[in-house]
A and B are shown apart, each in its own frame.
Chain A
Amino acid sequence: MPHKPQTLFEKVWDAHIVAAPVGEPALLYIDLHLIHEVTSPQAFDGLRMTGRKFRRPDRAIATVDHNVPTTANRIIIEDAIASKQIETLRRNCKDFGIELYDVNAPEQGIVHVIGPEQGFTKPGMTIVCGDSHTSTHGAFGALAFGIGTSEVEHVMATQCLQQGRPKTFRISVEGELPPAVGAKDVALGIIGRIGTDGATGYVIEYAGSAVRSLSMEGRMTVCNMSIEAGARAGMIAPDEKTFAYLQGRPQSPKGAAWDEAIAHWRALVSDEGAVFDRELVIPAGELAPFVTWGTSPGMVAPVTDTVPDPSHVENETDRRSLERALEYMDLKAGAAIEQIDIDRVFIGSCTNSRIEDLRAAAKVVHGYNVSTHVRAMVVPGSQQVKAQAEREGLDRIFRDAGFEWREPGCSMCLGMNPDILQPGERCASTSNRNFEGRQGRGGRTHLVSPMMAAAAAITGHFTDVRNWEFKPQPELVGAD
């Protein structure tokens, strides 16, 4: 009998089914469990209360990222509650034998940056974390998704999850990306098109020539934002770029094992003729540098556009939400996005804090100064990214222009640490959520790419980076 063509998702899913009891969700085996300080304490406590063991400590790693300050001297954390949470993670990791990349470790960083960087993330794996942006790891052809704390405890105790089988959704971005349009714009363009609940219940597979043309870091940016479209996960089939990225990472297989691993990973593509529950094709030429204008990532427009008019929206609840968004953002319908002045710039987060993001931003910044009314900061995604950027001299470019150069962590993406917006402040941010108060109570967030954030920092307002006048670039030392 001929083999039924399968999607990438189906191959990974099927390889991890422990049991499929009739009338119940499947039991899905989890290869890698990423742990951080915020969503784990109650789960560890649950294990203690029930006397259950942590089943596979060797399939878990932990780091501190959400809470940690990004200032140079951060061993002592002044926020007593945050400090207690981090101390709790230390104790839990010690008690249960989990490897922890603590605040001073050379591997420390945002959990979704360090997983791939250290080579923990691999094609064909199932990966979970108590964090919705776990979808990032799908860039490697892994099935990776965020879970709540009860599920964190469930994985700790059983290395499995009860999971209903999601549907499949292939989004193909075809053609060549226009100049200065990058992975972040691909992500924002898709969300603008399908909405923040457009992929609820689905796992997205990103395909098409524009997606293939992205680097691994660009692919991570796209998969990272899958959750912003409501998707359970986002995936991209591994290819030569994936293997080149993984080769030689600390946790990658070596020698003969490497060759064998690649042979398995090569099979992780959607077969010719595989059927998806839903398909969408987006011509790459339709994408532009995007800026969000509202309080949901789907409220997005090209930088050359204007803020839309809620009175054109028919659904009453939606219209009210839109009116409320404009009120919160202090924007008028019809205002030109390029004329919106900003107060702050944040370059960082699990979406856009990797070395290529910093290079792209530095290229724009080089030879310019941050606008006098703007406070701008760069928060590298990990200690490794920070060290690499410093070897390449990117930190000098940012500092010379007037940016703050910080220590790694989630920082102002969600403002759990001291990096927050003040009420009324407007920020161009490379992060992933523009929800009300996300970056600080009363703060106003506009999501953009690293290049767009850099340009806005210089001019003080949103600026079409397609027309940017790049100054002669210095020769990067130590670049790969």
Chain B
Amino acid sequence: MTPFRTLTSGIVPLDRSNIDTDQIIPKQFLKRIERTGYGEFLFFDWRRIQEGPQSGQPDPAFILNDPRYQGAEVLVTGKNFGCGSSREHAAWALSDYGFRCVIAPSFADIFFSNAGKNGIVLVRLPEEQVHALLEHAAADPTYQVTISLEAQTVTDARGFSAHFDIDPFRKYCLLEGLDDIGLTLRHENELDAFEQRHNRQFWVAPRPAAIAR
């Protein structure tokens, strides 16, 4: 996982609330067995014209197809981003496309966890501040913000400054780009001891046979 310290980047403003993971990455791409290459399928249906003779062509009205916003690494969007399916493919698609940070008033739980495992920084800001960022970026595609994970701030050159909260452990993992499994295995002795006791609790074992271990 790539460590995240600070990022100065343009913004893609996507002013919709309750964006679910089915929109972020539609089902047909979940059949792949790879972890990479999902970026081109990000917001697949929204990026394409759905009806008429041009069906399937890129939809110029969708913000991701606007050349002025190409290369922006920050997505700003409405509340409850990432709701619905647990598919981590949504985080893989955002990351593979080039987004390193998403700013929204709130995020769904499973997506929140998945994003963290892939080094994407999720920033929760109050609705008014998100709204201000959406307006700045919509009015000016060259508008940039700086996200400092260390200082937990989002700032711009015009004087916008917002502080965001983040769980200290999550912050540490993102800053260092740490592997979760490695972190957990530091506790292997405790795990072994717990498991020995827990194995005897057959009433929470999946199979009666598991008791005998």
Contact = CB atoms under 8 A, between A and B. Distances in A.
B163 interface: no
A160 B184 contact: yes
Given A147-B110, A162-B183, A201-B109, A437 B45 contact: yes
Given A79-B31, A196-B80, A24 B207 contact: no
Given A58-B209, A230-B80, A324-B16, A433 B28 contact: no
B206 A61 contact: yes
A260 B22 CA distance: 44
Contacts, number: 222
A58 B206 contact: yes
Given A158-B184, A251-B207, A321 B18 contact: yes
B108 A19 contact: no
Interface string B17-40: 110101100111011111100000
Contacts of B194: 18-19, 29
Contact of B207 (A120, A153, A154, A230): A120
Interface in B7-64: 15-18, 20, 22-23, 26-28, 30-35, 45, 50-51
B97 to A, nearest CB: 18
Given A196-B83, A253-B203, A321-B16, A27 B187 contact: yes
B131 to A, nearest CB: 8
A42 interface: yes
B190 A18 contact: yes
Contact of B208 (A60, A67, A148, A257): A257
B17 A154 contact: no
Contacts of B208: 251-254, 257
A124 B204 contact: yes
B195 A29 contact: yes
Contacts of B96: none
A415 B27 CA distance: 7
A269 interface: no
A151 B113 CA distance: 9
A238 B16 CA distance: 40
B167 A164 contact: yes
B168 interface: yes
A32 B22 contact: no
A16 B187 CA distance: 14
Interface in B171-213: 180-181, 183-185, 187, 190-191, 194-195, 198, 201-211, 213
B87 interface: yes
Interface string B138-156: 0000000000000000000
A410 to B, nearest CB: 10
A38 B31 contact: yes
B80 A197 contact: yes
Given A150-B114, A158-B191, A264-B203, A436 B31 contact: no
B161 interface: no
Contacts of B91: 148
B98 interface: no
Given A148-B110, A197-B18, A415-B27, A436 B45 contact: yes
Contacts of B187: 18-19, 21, 27
Contact of B185 (A158, A197, A254): A158
Interface stretch (A81-89, A276-284, A346-354): A81-89
Interface string A74-96: 00000101101100100000000
Contacts of A254: 208
B114 A232 contact: no
B210 A81 contact: no
Nearest to B113: A148
Interface in A100-135: 120, 122-126, 130-132
Contacts of A435: 20, 22-23, 84
A429 interface: no
Contact of B86 (A39, A41, A158): A39
Contact of A84 (B27, B33, B106, B167): B33
Interface string A399-443: 000000000000000111000000100000000010111100110
B86 A146 contact: yes
Contacts of A123: 203
22 contacts: A18-B190, A23-B168, A27-B190, A31-B204, A31-B205, A39-B30, A39-B87, A59-B206, A61-B206, A66-B30, A84-B31, A122-B206, A131-B85, A148-B114, A159-B191, A160-B191, A196-B83, A230-B80, A232-B109, A251-B207, A264-B201, A423-B50
Closest 5 CB pairs of A and B: A148-B88, A148-B114, A150-B117, A261-B203, A41-B33
